[in-house]
């Protein structure tokens, strides 16, 4: 696991955007795995800027989102479909048929989940999976105790996650208890994973993910087993890490061919 510590969320997003750009420029039909939430908003803004100003081309790219609420119509402003349109999809030249999001309105959930896994496989697998992390260590909506080999499925959200998600819903609107999420096993099959985290609220989860034991109680800790996982943090999210100096030294002394 490579740990990169940066002075600000903006600097984190600039590096993350360079990873995305590198993939798109070096792989003809790149496949991206995408998160929602507050973490990727600045990253998406930087990607949109690169598309507009530097010609970053998404015509041949395919995307798969990590998750979507169950029972929330894609037209609902609180849906992840709406979020992705607003922050990314409406601003890029992606082919709509290459955009994939879990169907939270599916009549047959197990079938829809299986179809999502099949679509990922048929696209050739995910090249770069971008991730945020929940304060409880979740990735996607794989809450603590999720199987570390789980696949795309319906998941029950914890009260804590529901309380957090509340801010994205208008007052009085019920916050969904269920979501469809890629499984931890699905995420681990991506050829590379890039997790971003900002702020004090993520410091404990980041510490447990990077320097704690691999455990289903901290699903993100499984990234320790991934052959190509990069974690990019701001100072606040990195504040509990014991080996900060080492991570900094490694990053500052990377050979040129490894720099992005």
Q: Which stretch binds ligand F6R (CB under 6 A): 130-138, 152-160, 183-191, 229-237?
A: 130-138
Among 9, 33, 137, 140, the residue binding ligand F6R under the rule CB under 6 A is 140
Whether 89 and 123 have beta carbons less than 8 Å apart is answered as no
Instruction: Please tell me the count of residues contacting ligand F6R according to CB under 6 A.
Output: 13
Give the nearest residue (CB) to ligand F6R: 132
Whether 195 and 232 have beta carbons less than 8 Å apart is answered as yes
Q: How many CB atoms lie within 10 A of CB 123?
A: 16
Q: How many CB atoms lie within 10 A of CB 258?
A: 8
Q: Which stretch binds ligand F6R (CB under 6 A): 48-56, 90-98, 109-117, 132-140?
A: 132-140
Beta bridge mates, 63: 32, 99
Active site residues: 67, 136, 138, 143
Q: Is 225 helix (H, G, I), strand (E, B) or coil?
A: helix
Site residues for ligand F6R, 16-35, by CB under 6 A, read 35
Mask: binding to ligand F6R, 64-103, rule CB under 6 A, as x and -?
A: --xx------------------------------------
Helix axis angle for 9-26 and 41-54, nearest 10°, is 50
Among 4, 139, 230, 233, the residue binding ligand F6R under the rule CB under 6 A is 139
Cα separation of 189 and 173, whole Å? 36
Residues that bind ligand F6R (CB under 6 A): 35-39, 66-67, 132-134, 138-140
């Amino acid at each position: 696991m490579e740990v990169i510590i940066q002075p600000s969320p903006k600097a984190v997003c600039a590096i993350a955007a360079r990873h995305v750009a590198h993939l798109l420029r070096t792989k003809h039909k790149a496949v991206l795995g995408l998160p929602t939430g507050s973490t990727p908003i600045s990253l998406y803004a930087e990607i949109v800027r690169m598309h507009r100003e530097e010609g970053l081309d998404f015509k041949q790219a395919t995307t798969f989102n990590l998750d979507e609420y169950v029972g929330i119509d894609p037209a609902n402003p609180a849906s992840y479909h709406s979020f992705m349109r607003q922050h990314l999809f409406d601003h890029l030249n992606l082919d709509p048929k290459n955009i994939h999001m879990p169907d939270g309105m599916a009549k047959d959930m197990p079938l829809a989940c299986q179809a999502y896994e099949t679509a990922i496989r048929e696209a050739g697998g995910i090249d770069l999976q971008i991730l945020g992390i929940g304060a409880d260590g979740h990735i996607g909506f794989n809450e603590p105790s999720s199987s570390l080999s789980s696949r795309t499925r319906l998941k029950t959200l914890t009260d804590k996650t529901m309380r957090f998600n509340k801010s994205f819903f208008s007052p009085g609107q019920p916050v969904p208890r269920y979501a469809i999420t890629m499984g931890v096993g699905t995420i681990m099959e991506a050829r590379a994973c890039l997790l971003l985290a900002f702020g004090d609220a993520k410091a404990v989860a980041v510490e447990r993910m990077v320097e704690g034991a691999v455990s289903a109680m901290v699903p993100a800790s499984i990234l320790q087993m991934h052959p190509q996982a990069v974690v990019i943090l701001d100072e606040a999210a990195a504040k509990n890490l014991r080996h900060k100096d080492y991570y900094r030294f490694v990053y500052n002394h990377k050979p040129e061919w490894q720099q992005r």
